[in-house]
Chain A
Amino acid sequence: MGIVLFFVLQNRKAMKTKKKPLYQRKAFIIILILFVGFVGIQFVRPDVPNLPVTGDLEAPADVKAIIQRACYDCHSNNANLRWYDKIVPVYWGVASHIKDGRADLNFSEWNKLAPADQKGKLWESINQIIAGAMPLPSYTAVHTEAKVSPADLAVLKNYLASMVHSKPADTAAINAADKQYLHWEKNETAITKLSTAANGISYIPDYKNWQPISTTERFDNNTLRVIFGNDIAVKAIKENKIHPWPNGAIFAKVAWAQLQDKDGTTHTGEFKQVEYMIKDDKKYASTYGWGWARFKTPKMVPYGGANVLFTKECMNCHKPMAAEDFVFTLPIKH
């Protein structure tokens, strides 16, 4: 656009002054060089292969149509590139989005996820849509048909809500919780050597002595959660200094399986995990200013194993909360 405009303006000027012929003028030569360069870079093309579909997402037709329209260009093995997507340098951005998109979530390789993870991904996806983070606004600005309308969102919400089944706990869940409780009660789960995640963050046993700042019932994945804050976090809450949170603030979010009684009272069952967010805007500058870690089961097995890239998963999910310093929890201030 800019090039064309420049060319037109130069041309008009030339008509008025009547100087050298067109091909001898500096401006013309510069434009020619730019044009040749533009054509040249068209041949620098990263590959966007349309890979085989190993097992596509299965969902009711209306739900699937929305997901295909809004998500499949970047989150499936069938990228439907328009002609304007294929022009370099736009194409470079498109190719990198597709590569990252497929790595985070790929509906064409849906069968590679465990059923619980499939459910988790769907809930995460709808929350990204609700938050306006997905589909990427820069993408829908051009591909307007990918926008998710309020009516589309209602269809997706209904579908997910229909997957929630609230029922009393079965014997297996009760037994598993009882077994774990007995070990814990007798102090047999005490950890002598602190386990450490790939990013160097260690399990912090003291979290249970911190103040709870909120609780959550998660009906999307049948867990109950308590979010604890350390002294620095609790002080910041009291003093209204949580935007941004001060360095040294730490949250510990604990999740248990739900154990529902016949009367609807739902207690904490098996301990699932504890997750930490440690604020340090310098030390953790590359991960939104927070250190992230998750330790699973009472054995405190670090999530992600030796792969430090697990933090990308944490960041992707928390990204829509950028305006809230990447924190989902609304603390309760007493």
Chain B
Amino acid sequence: MKTVYSLIIACTLMLAACSDNKQVELYNTKAALPASAKYNLGGLKVITSFVNKTKGTASTLYGNDLALKAAIEGNKIIAGNEIFTLVTWKQQDDDHWFGAKIPSDVESVEVIKTASSGNNVAINYQQLNGKPLDLKTDTSGQAERIKYILGQKPSVLP
């Protein structure tokens, strides 16, 4: 009988060794933007996505319908009511795929809003930095950032 008991114990141990107790990670929590009234991605569409291999960052440019249409037309004419939002993350290795990088901590959220009054179009630019999305108060370099964002060619999405 001893043999039988040892066999049963051995089999139970073997089966226990097979059970999968791996912790399953379901979300990329690091890359999540904090809820804030300073930006709103709701209803915005993807204009393009790009990475910077030197800086190790990944960016996605979002826009409302008017912004997307303007971007496809090369942003030659800036009209009112366009919203562009460029989110830039640091990158991290993808635990699920050796050979891939995915977004990590958010670095900045840049929001461009246009408003027309009469013949003039005002372009408002805001830069929110880091996880707390701190508003950058230094306005130098804004014109360059606006030019850069509006200069992005949309991704081909057939």
Q: A181 with B99: in contact, given A266-B51, A323-B24 (CB under 8 Å)?
A: no
Inter-subunit contact B31/A332 (CB<8 Å): yes
| Of the residues A189, A215, A260, A334, contact of B41 by C-beta under 8 Å | A334
* Residue A92 is within 8 A (CB to CB) of chain B in the complex: no
Please, how many angstroms separate the alpha-carbon atoms of A216 and B60 in the complex?
Answer: 11
| Of the residues B3, B98, B100, B155, contact of A5 by C-beta under 8 Å | B3
Main secondary structure, interface of A, reads mixed
**Which residues B28-87 have CB closer than 8 A to chain A?**
28-29, 31-33, 35, 41, 45-46, 48-55, 58, 60, 72
In the assembled complex, the CB of A259 is this many whole angstroms from the nearest CB of chain B, namely 9
- What is the chain B residue whose CB lies nearest that of A185? B72
Inter-subunit contact A260/B53 (CB<8 Å): yes
Please, how many angstroms separate the alpha-carbon atoms of A127 and B94 in the complex?
Answer: 11
Please, how many angstroms separate the alpha-carbon atoms of A224 and B99 in the complex?
Answer: 12
* Residue B138 is within 8 A (CB to CB) of chain A in the complex: no
Q: A298 with B158: in contact, given A212-B46, A216-B101, A224-B51 (CB under 8 Å)?
A: yes
Please, how many angstroms separate the alpha-carbon atoms of A245 and B3 in the complex?
Answer: 47
Residues in A with CB closer than 8 Å to B24 are: 243, 323-324
Among the 9-residue stretches A19-27, A34-42, A65-73, A267-275, the one with 4 or more Cβ atoms under 8 Å from chain B is A267-275
In the assembled complex, the CB of A258 is this many whole angstroms from the nearest CB of chain B, namely 8
* Residue A221 is within 8 A (CB to CB) of chain B in the complex: yes
Inter-subunit contact B99/A219 (CB<8 Å): yes
29 residue pairs from A and B, CB less than 8 Å apart: A5-B4, A5-B7, A123-B98, A130-B98, A157-B98, A184-B156, A185-B72, A190-B158, A208-B46, A212-B49, A215-B49, A220-B100, A224-B50, A226-B49, A228-B46, A242-B26, A260-B53, A263-B54, A264-B55, A265-B50, A266-B51, A267-B50, A271-B155, A330-B27, A331-B27, A332-B28, A332-B103, A333-B29, A334-B35
Closest 8 CB pairs of A and B: A220-B99, A264-B54, A330-B28, A298-B158, A208-B157, A268-B155, A271-B156, A217-B101
Chain B residues engaging chain A, CB cutoff 8 angstroms? 3-4, 7, 20, 22, 24-29, 31-33, 35, 41, 45-46, 48-55, 58, 60, 72, 91, 94, 96-103, 153, 155-158
Chain A residues engaging chain B, CB cutoff 8 angstroms? 5, 123, 126-127, 130, 157, 160, 166, 177, 180-181, 184-185, 189-191, 207-209, 211-212, 214-221, 224, 226, 228, 237, 242-243, 254, 256, 260, 263-268, 270-271, 298, 300, 321, 323-324, 328, 330-334
